């Protein structure tokens, strides 16, 4: 591997030796014009592309990597996803959305879960089912998963009916047995929401839109 880079440079220099010689003459004869030419043809387009990429990543579309199996089978460990950061600027998150948010106990970490409870909802987990406002959620996506009660978690006790506070959300992992979520550490503030996960772009065999 150490020899490949110098070898590639040597091969490139050989095939482009005439172009390099012309560039060297241009540089020696008219340095200011040479620098201006390189800026207009290389520097300026690169800078514009870098700024656009930064704006897109910050405000429109963000790539994330799935680190754990808490969202199996929707996401697998190592999946790389795109997150829509724009939509929630125009409307509130909806129940069933797969949301990316800043972890309430450590805002340096980003978590991915499914939104189960909206502000004002009453949420209960009973016999593996999710019950919201007295109605059992059947069918996809919630009916596809079994949700576990846990007596050692504050919001996962059997028979507990939770009211989601204003400006807060209740989130759950699809792989309930291996997910630390709102059952454990509580609610996600609205201000912590980053966006909605909607697309797996890596690995190639997993590329697809997600619901």
> Between these two residues, 12 and 105, which has the higher pLDDT value?
105
CA atoms within 13 A on the CB side of 84: 16
List 162's β-bridge partners, or say none: 123
Please tell me the distance from the alpha carbon of residue 201 to that of residue 208, in angstroms, as a whole number.
7
Reported as a single tens digit per residue, the pLDDT across 53-72 is 555 555 557 899 999 999 99
**pLDDT score, position 79:** 97
**Of residues 70, 109, 101, the one with CA closest to residue 83:** 101
- Domain 66-209 classification at class level: mainly beta
Per-residue b or e along 148-180, where b marks 16 or more CB atoms closer than 10 Å to that residue's CB:
ebeeebebbeeebebebeeebbbbbbbbbeebe
Q: Is 70 a catalytic residue?
A: yes
- Considering 25, 32, 38, 70, which one is annotated as catalytic? 70
Please tell me the distance from the alpha carbon of residue 28 to that of residue 30, in angstroms, as a whole number.
6
Could you state, in order of their start, the residue ranges of all structural domains in the chain? 4-59, 66-209
Q: Is 92 a catalytic residue?
A: no
pLDDT band with cut points at 50, 70 and 90 for residue 25: confident
| Model pTM score | 0.78
- Considering 19, 40, 108, 113, which one is annotated as catalytic? 113
């Amino acid at each position: 591997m150490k020899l490949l880079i110098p070898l590639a440079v040597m091969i490139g220099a050989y095939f482009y030796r005439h172009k390099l010689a012309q560039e060297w003459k241009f540089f020696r004869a008219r340095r200011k014009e040479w620098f201006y030419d390189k800026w207009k043809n290389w520097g300026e387009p690169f800078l514009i592309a870098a700024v656009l990429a930064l704006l897109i990543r910050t405000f429109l579309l963000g790539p994330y990597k799935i680190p754990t199996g808490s969202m199996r089978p929707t996401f697998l460990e190592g999946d790389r996803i795109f997150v829509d950061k724009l939509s929630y600027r125009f409307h509130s998150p909806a129940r069933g959305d797969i949301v990316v948010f800043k972890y309430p106990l450590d805002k340096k970490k980003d978590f991915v879960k499914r939104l189960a409870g909206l502000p004002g909802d009453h949420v209960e987990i009973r016999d593996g089912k999710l019950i919201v406002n007295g109605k059992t959620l059947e069918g996809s996506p919630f009916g596809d998963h079994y949700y576990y009660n846990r007596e050692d978690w504050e919001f996962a006790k059997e028979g507990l009916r939770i009211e989601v506070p204003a400006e807060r959300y209740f989130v759950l992992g699809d792989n309930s047995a291996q997910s630390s979520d709102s059952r454990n550490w509580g609610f996600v503030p609205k201000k912590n929401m980053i966006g909605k996960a909607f697309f797996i772009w890596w690995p190639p065999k997993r590329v697809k839109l997600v619901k």
